[in-house]
Amino acid sequence: MASPLEGKRICVTGGGGFLGRVVVARLRERGCPDVFVVRKRDYDLVSGSDVGRLYADARPDVVVHLAAVVGGIGANRENPGRYFYENLMMGVQLIEGARLHGVGKFVQVGTICAYPKFTPVPFKEDDLWDGYPEETNAPYGIAKKALLVQCQAYRDQYGMNAVYLLPVNLYGPGDNFDPQTSHVIPALIKKFVDARERGEPRVEVWGTGAATREFLYVDDAAEGIVLAAEAYDGRDPVNLGSGEEMSIRDLASVIAAETGFEGEIVWDASKPDGQPRRALDVTRAAGLFGFRARVGFAEGLRRTVEWYRASKAAAAVAGPASEG
C-alpha cells in the first residue's frame, strides 16, 4: 500500500542527527525521495531570517521538526537559559513559518522532560499539565511544552494540521557519546568500555541508581514519527515509548555485563538522580496509528555497544585529523 506521504516534499529539521538520519531513511523507504534535510551549518533555526529562507528554499508540504539543543542532567544544569531560549525560538518560528507558507502538516517532536516531576506511572498524556517538570530539565521541558500550546492554538485559529509527539529517552547506534552532553545509556557505555580497556577497577555513576527510566530504540522512534506523519491528524499529544521501566541501577548492571566490565560500580549520591520515575502509557499511539516498539532492550543495547566499539576502533586507526 502506498504511503500517504509518497511524492510529497518533506522537510526534516535535525535530519543529519542521531534520530534525524533514521527518520530520513524511513521516509525515503516510504517513497519520499524529495526529503529536504535541514542542518545547522546551513540554517540557524534560532534566526527568524534563516527560518524564512528555509521555507523559501524547501517549499515543503510536510515539516518534521526534530532539531533540538539537548543533553543529559549535567548539560541541562549548566545551560538552562540556552536550552530554554534556543528550543523555544526554533519551534515557535518554524510553526509560524509553516502557517505563513501554507504547509499541509507540521509534526512537532517534544520530550518526556515536559511531564511533571511526580507524574504517576505510567505517564498518560492527560497528566502533562498536572505539575511542574523536574527542576534540572524544566527549562528545556517547558520550552518544548509551549510548542504543544502553539500547535493547538494554531489548529484552533488557523486550521493548521500540527501534531505533537512525546518520545521517551532514545538510544542506539550513532548516539551522542560526548561525556559532557550525552544521555545516560551512551554515557554509561563509554564509561564501562573505556574502563575495561584501561583495566580500571571501578566506574563512578551519578546519583543513587534508584531513579527509573524507559528507553526506546532509535529505529522504533523513527518508525513512530513516520507513522504519525502518515496517519495521525489529531490535536492531542501522543507518547512514543516501549512501555518498559528500568532502574538506573539495573541499567548500569546490564550495560556493565554487555561491555564485559567486571569491576565495581560506585554511586555518587551527591549528584542528582533527575526525575524519580519515567515510564509511559503507550496505548494512545497503538490505537491512533498502530505504533508499537519492536526492538527489545537487550538487542538494542547489543547493537549500540557494537557500534560504539566499532566507531572507536575506526577513530583509533584514522588517528588525529591532519592539519591544513
Task: Provide the annotated active-site residues.
Answer: 140
Q: Quick check: 7 and 28 in contact, CB under 8 A?
A: no
R_g of the chain computed on alpha carbons: 20
Residue type, 104: G
Alpha helices by DSSP H, the chain:
18-29, 48-58, 73-78, 80-100, 138-158, 184-198, 218-231, 248-259, 283-289, 297-318
Cα dist from 202 to 27, 40, 182, 266, 309, whole Å: 43, 38, 20, 7, 20
The DSSP secondary structure of 125-183, one letter per residue, reads GGGTTSSPBPGGGHHHHHHHHHHHHHHHHHHHHH---EEEEEE-EEE-TT----TTT--
Q: Are strands 35-38 and 10-13 parallel, antiparallel or unpaired?
A: parallel
**φ/ψ (deg, to 5) at 79:** -130, 45
Q: Are strands 162-167 and 215-217 parallel, antiparallel or unpaired?
A: unpaired
End-to-end CA distance of the chain: 51
Q: What is the DSSP letter of 17?
A: S
The DSSP secondary structure of 176-202, one letter per residue, reads ---TTT--HHHHHHHHHHHHHHHT-SE
User: 162 - beta bridge partners?
Assistant: 106
Q: Is 202 left (phi over 0), alpha (psi -120 to 50) or beta?
A: beta
**HSE-CB of 115 using CA atoms within 13 angstroms:** 29
